[in-house]
Chain A
């Protein structure tokens, strides 16, 4: 099972994990990651975060990353949910879940997918704080994290 969803609607990561767990019950290990909008940034208190995608390029890129993860690790199932549109602090932006026979593959595949989503995925992100608004680019650490997988 491989599900990828890009949605402008808010979603409940706990509910997604429940659905995923019941669909992947024969796997021995499930790992999930949820990314939330942080309430503070270097520019101040975050009042809003806006995320833009470009269909179908964004979907195609994530599908390729999911396929690569499935080739690298023996996965029983994989699920990715990514938000677009306007979000408030505390809202879920991204949810990744992986299922495999053993934990190592599930952990690594989820980590790999998140590194892809943080640097390569086709999203533009605008942060609004009490001091104004600005477009965000990935941090140097995000690129370094992503490079780990190229060896």
Chain B
């Protein structure tokens, strides 16, 4: 199982701050993940574009990156500052 975390405005687009699921077997890289999420959440359209960074187990990854055994994948839109 993988935990997907949608931060900031992304939670408004997906309708949930996080979800736990089994990723389809054909999703191997962060690029696959973006394409899959954009089709999964049609309301989000290009919500998962390249301004959204991806953290695998709370480490920002250089993309495209293999997902490997990451258990927590977070999607970080541009930060808003404190």
Query: Is B truly associated with A?
Result: yes
| Chain A positions near chain B (C-beta within 8 angstroms) | 35, 51-52, 54-57, 82, 93-94, 117-126, 135-138, 142
- Interchain CB contact under 8 A, B58 and A123: no
Q: Knowing A52-B7, A52-B8, A56-B58 touch, does A123 contact B76 (C-beta < 8 A)?
A: no
Give A126 to B12 CA distance when docked, in angstroms.
Answer: 11
Counting contact residues on chain B (CB < 8 A from A), the size range is 10 to 19
* Chain A neighbourhood of B8, CB < 8 A: 52, 124, 126, 135
- Closest-by-CB residue of A relative to B59 is A57
Does residue B64 face the partner (Cβ distance < 8 Å to A)? no
* Chain B neighbourhood of A124, CB < 8 A: 7-9, 77, 79-80
- Interchain CB contact under 8 A, B80 and A125: yes
- Interchain CB contact under 8 A, B80 and A136: yes
